A and B are shown apart, each in its own frame.
Chain A
Amino acid sequence: MRSVIEQDVLERVLGTALRAGGDFAEVYAEDKSSTSAGLDDGKVEQVTSGRDRGAGIRVVRGETTGFAYTADLSESGLRAAAEAAGAVAAQGGGGTRTVGLTRQAPHPVNTVEVYPDTVSKSAKVALLQRIDDAARSTGAAIGQVSAGYGDSRKRIIVANSDGLLAEDEQVRHLLRISVVANGDAGMQTGFESLGHTIGFEVFDANDVEELARRAAQQAITKLRARPAPSGSIPVVIKAGSGGVLFHEACGHGLEADLVGKNASVYAGKVGQQVASPLVTLVDDGTMAGEWGAIGIDDEGHPSQYNELIKDGVLTDYMWDHLRARKEGHAHSGNGRRQSYMHLPMVRMTNTYVLNGTETPEDIIRNTPNGVYVAKLGGGSVNTASGDFVFGMTEAYLIENGEITEPLREGNLIGNGPQVLRDIEALGNDFAMGNPGTCGKDGQGVPVGDGQPTLRVKTMTIGGTAA
């Protein structure tokens, strides 16, 4: 694999970045090729090819960061960006600084068998046709199907004035399936997705037709759904469908940048009991093949398995370079960015709760009345207050310990610290959930989540039924 930028060029560009002063300089460059295809209304609408290539350069002096990016990867283009970034952080001083880089050993986490650029576009489009056929043949009520395919191959290189030089390659494949079913009382929707940080072989290991039928069945089932209840109710969340709960309810609050500004309900709580003793939460960038898995983070540090909460006790936060340097803490491989056009910050990778001991059947049976959430949609959290919200896209009523009728969509809300304490049953059936895109400060990065079946004592269901 040829580097996006040669080592001697990187060394000279870092020297240029620090010429006007500064404590730290970094070059991040990426070269990304992507293909996407969309099918809608029975037609392959278009195949898109994309190429994104560029570098972002930052210079840090004290508490100030200067950042500039460029799509011009020639030495002169990089030096111009380095000067722009350095000018901001400059204040007197300066002089010549020589940077010698040491190439880090590769840290491969994901193995790729079939690179997307070796697969014909017709094979990619054929997946969409199979999805369309499978979804439409699920039932006469299916009115519309849309499906999206995307692949990307991204090579990154990171070099900094501490002498670090690291490279990684990230190959991702994603499918999204949306289905509309028509009924007497209007339309309902179903959605499924599949995303992994591996090659095209992902479609050998996963049955895309089955995925399409699940999305279609979800929409059909909801045609007979009744309005969701309103008020505080026990909630059972199916394995692999509620990891986003932890991502929102506490994951963001454990990011060291928010903690450092005292903008998190978890600030100052290391060593304290913050969750039910059943809960052990980790963030794991090394979980091979998962959507949030990375070899190195976007600051060049190897990804890690980081325990955040153990048996309910807060053990540590997640860290990037700046926050780790400021606090004298080790970085944790959580410095990520959307692209070369963005500054890195503390971000999650794959965030999940480890298995408990109960069977999912027992958890449901021991819930006299409540709501069973089989699929959660997107969510968001206010990290300072801990209040969060997310959508239930597939949910059922639990009556007398049994799953009964399907419910229409609604929001589920709660307060993060409260919900963590209120987890009263944890299953032994761990599963990862759908691929997600986590948004923070205007940047989106791929993340994964997972959890076993669990029950929360009560959460507020935002339905309309009394």
Chain B
Amino acid sequence: MSELQAIADRVIAQAGKDEHIEAYVSRGQETDIRIYEGEVEHFVSAQSEGIGIRVIREGRTGFAYAGTLDDDAIASVLAEARDNVSFGTPDEWAGLAEADGVPVVEQELWSDALAAYATDGKIALAKELERLTRGADSRVRVDDANYSDASGEAAVSSTSGIRVSGRENGCYCSVSTLADDGDETQTGFGFAVGRSPQEFDLAKAAREAADRATRLLGAVKPPSKKITVVLDPYVTAQFLGVLSSALNGENVAKGRSLFANRVGESVASPLFTLVDDPTNPKAYTATDIDGEGLAARRNALIDAGVLQGFVHSSYSARRAGTKSTGNAVRGGFKGTPGVGCLAMQLQPGTRSQAELIADVDDGVLIQSVQGMHSGVNAISGDFSTGASGLLISHGQLGGPVREFTIASTLQRMLHDIVEVGGDVDWLPMRAAGVSLVIRDLTMSGA
């Protein structure tokens, strides 16, 4: 039994009569290296640990945390959480998750190769990425090249019978670039991810970072008009991320989802089939258990345009009169679980991006967006984002464009989907990327 599980067990053993307790205990290590002009600019090496305790009594919830695992600190966290209970409003649906018998699909979340990887090797990787990126294009400067890794273990125990622990590690390299042409400067980035450094494709990261920065040199502001857009896989993944909040069962229950009361109805083009499947090992965010300790599982969200259902934690599921879908998400020991999609995947089509573009008469290939967080309202559905990319004319890619927005509503965009590409990219995000063609967006520029 892990040491962390033992700590969690000792906390819940103190539960009084009619008192429900959940203890989440975690410990982590991280390395963060930044290279600038061939030298180490900074090297961060750190360890952290902490505990979060949730107490529920008579439908009221209290919570407290501390960033330490000292016995004294744990005792005061439990005392604070108990004290906080009395200030909550009784909620008939409050409660902890209970084991539901759904089998866990084991995932390979730990790499011994990464755990054993030498520090010098990590520095060398970031230096190599910087060197490759500089060499990719004479117009490119490197702002910084980075190597990061993190490993962590966590355990959760509850008086409702949950008792799970696990460990996970991962690493990534990233590089930020600047490309200059006269007075103009544009930026780019590239990254490589893997369970261990052996899986890195640094050459690809360098090429993409150079390409992202240079492709916008000389870009102009396009005119304002209605247009068809082709979203790069990286942009589609961000679009799906925005959509996920409307598929969140808690938002539905609380009147914050534009999909409320629409299960069984057509909400998107028949070409649009979306699942959340953290059991797919190709997904960057694949996992075996959710934030409450239940098995992560595959959930159909939209099937051929028809809304199938929502993702739930045990709380949102009780409110909705259904069962948890294993979608509790927890951001560490400092908070209680919320609800969220874990690993969204859009069912791909068959054609390449180039084939999709060949069918577009008047459009723009959107290679990056800026301001998805500020210009998209997933409650009202208003969608507006800054963008840059390449014009498409009569099926041919044209010149670069920037400083414009694309706008519509989420509701309309889902119905206006023309085609899904076949070019799935398992990006380091909560959604996989794939090219997506959507018609009738408003492009605002000059």
Q: Given the complex, which residues of B lie within 8 Å of A189, measured CB to CB?
A: 377, 379-380
Main secondary structure, interface of B, reads: strand
CA distance A341 to B29 in the complex (A): 12
Assess whether A88 is in contact with B43, with CB atoms less than 8 Å apart: yes
Given known contacts A343-B44, A387-B403, A462 and B444 CB-to-CB distance under 8 angstroms: yes
CA distance A144 to B409 in the complex (A): 21
CB-contact partner of A463 in B67, B256, B442, under 8 A: B442
Task: State the interface size on chain A (CB cutoff 8 A).
Answer: 76
How far in angstroms is the closest Cβ of chain A from B361? 20
CA distance A343 to B146 in the complex (A): 15
Assess whether A462 is in contact with B384, with CB atoms less than 8 Å apart: yes
Is B80's CB within 8 Å of the partner chain A? yes
CB-contact partner of A67 in B42, B186, B404, under 8 A: B42
Assess whether A382 is in contact with B84, with CB atoms less than 8 Å apart: no
CA distance A275 to B87 in the complex (A): 52
CA distance A256 to B379 in the complex (A): 39
Q: Which of B51-100 touch A at CB < 8 Å?
A: 54, 61-68, 73, 76-77, 80-81, 83-84, 87-89, 91
CA distance A263 to B144 in the complex (A): 11
CA distance A387 to B404 in the complex (A): 10
Given known contacts A48-B64, A53-B68, A409-B375, A341 and B444 CB-to-CB distance under 8 angstroms: no
Which A residue sits closest to B369, measured CB to CB? A389
Assess whether A67 is in contact with B43, with CB atoms less than 8 Å apart: yes
Which B residue sits closest to A39, measured CB to CB? B89
Given known contacts A49-B80, A71-B49, A385-B187, A186 and B258 CB-to-CB distance under 8 angstroms: yes
Assess whether A180 is in contact with B374, with CB atoms less than 8 Å apart: no
Which A residue sits closest to B54, measured CB to CB? A46
Q: Given the complex, which residues of A lie within 8 Å of B39, measured CB to CB?
A: 62-64
How far in angstroms is the closest Cβ of chain B from A58? 8
How far in angstroms is the closest Cβ of chain A from B43? 4
CB-contact partner of B404 in A44, A261, A413, under 8 A: A413
Given known contacts A64-B40, A71-B48, A230-B407, A391 and B375 CB-to-CB distance under 8 angstroms: yes
Stretch at the interface among A98-106, A298-306, A372-380: A372-380
Given known contacts A68-B46, A71-B49, A51 and B382 CB-to-CB distance under 8 angstroms: no
Q: Given the complex, which residues of A lie within 8 Å of B374, measured CB to CB?
A: 377-380, 389-391, 411
CA distance A410 to B185 in the complex (A): 27
Assess whether A64 is in contact with B41, with CB atoms less than 8 Å apart: yes
Is B373's CB within 8 Å of the partner chain A? yes
Given known contacts A63-B36, A409-B382, A460-B404, A390 and B446 CB-to-CB distance under 8 angstroms: no
Q: Given the complex, which residues of A lie within 8 Å of B47, measured CB to CB?
A: 70
CB-contact partner of B370 in A48, A84, A380, under 8 A: A380
Q: Given the complex, which residues of A lie within 8 Å of B48, measured CB to CB?
A: 54, 69, 71, 341
Is A134's CB within 8 Å of the partner chain B? no
How far in angstroms is the closest Cβ of chain A from B322? 18
Query: Which of B41, B377, B402, B444 has the most A CB atoms < 10 Å from its CB?
Result: B444
Which A residue sits closest to B370, measured CB to CB? A389
Is A41's CB within 8 Å of the partner chain B? yes
Is A232's CB within 8 Å of the partner chain B? yes
Assess whether B408 is in contact with A464, with CB atoms less than 8 Å apart: yes
Is B157's CB within 8 Å of the partner chain A? no
Is A45's CB within 8 Å of the partner chain B? yes
Is B264's CB within 8 Å of the partner chain A? no
Which B residue sits closest to A70, measured CB to CB? B47
CB-contact partner of A71 in B68, B76, B406, under 8 A: B68
Which A residue sits closest to B405, measured CB to CB? A462
How far in angstroms is the closest Cβ of chain A from B379? 5
Is A359's CB within 8 Å of the partner chain B? no
Q: Given the complex, which residues of B lie within 8 Å of A51, measured CB to CB?
A: 65-68, 73, 76-77
CB-contact partner of B444 in A40, A122, A230, A263, under 8 A: A230
CA distance A95 to B168 in the complex (A): 40
Flag B182-221 by CB within 8 Å of A: 1 or 0 each: 0011110000000000000000000000000000100001
Q: Given the complex, which residues of A lie within 8 Å of B403, measured CB to CB?
A: 387, 413-415, 460
Q: Given the complex, which residues of A lie within 8 Å of B398, measured CB to CB?
A: none
CA distance A85 to B91 in the complex (A): 48
Which A residue sits closest to B143, measured CB to CB? A263
CA distance A188 to B382 in the complex (A): 9
Q: Which of B402-425 touch A at CB < 8 Å?
A: 402-409
Is A187's CB within 8 Å of the partner chain B? yes
Assess whether B379 is in contact with A187, with CB atoms less than 8 Å apart: yes
Given A230-B443, A263-B187, A411-B374, 16 other A-B contacts at CB below 8 A?
Answer: A40-B254, A44-B88, A46-B54, A49-B77, A52-B67, A65-B41, A66-B45, A68-B44, A71-B67, A72-B68, A343-B44, A378-B373, A380-B373, A384-B186, A463-B407, A464-B407
On B, residues with C-beta under 8 Å from A are 36, 39-50, 54, 61-68, 73, 76-77, 80-81, 83-84, 87-89, 91, 141, 143-144, 178, 184-187, 216, 221, 224, 253-256, 258, 334-336, 370-371, 373-375, 377, 379-382, 384-386, 402-409, 442-446
Closest 8 pairs (CB-CB, A-B)? A462-B405, A411-B375, A391-B374, A389-B371, A389-B386, A43-B89, A47-B84, A410-B384
20 interchain pairs (CB within 8 A)? A41-B254, A45-B88, A46-B54, A47-B84, A48-B84, A52-B67, A54-B48, A64-B39, A70-B46, A71-B68, A189-B377, A232-B445, A232-B446, A265-B185, A343-B44, A384-B187, A410-B384, A462-B404, A462-B406, A464-B442
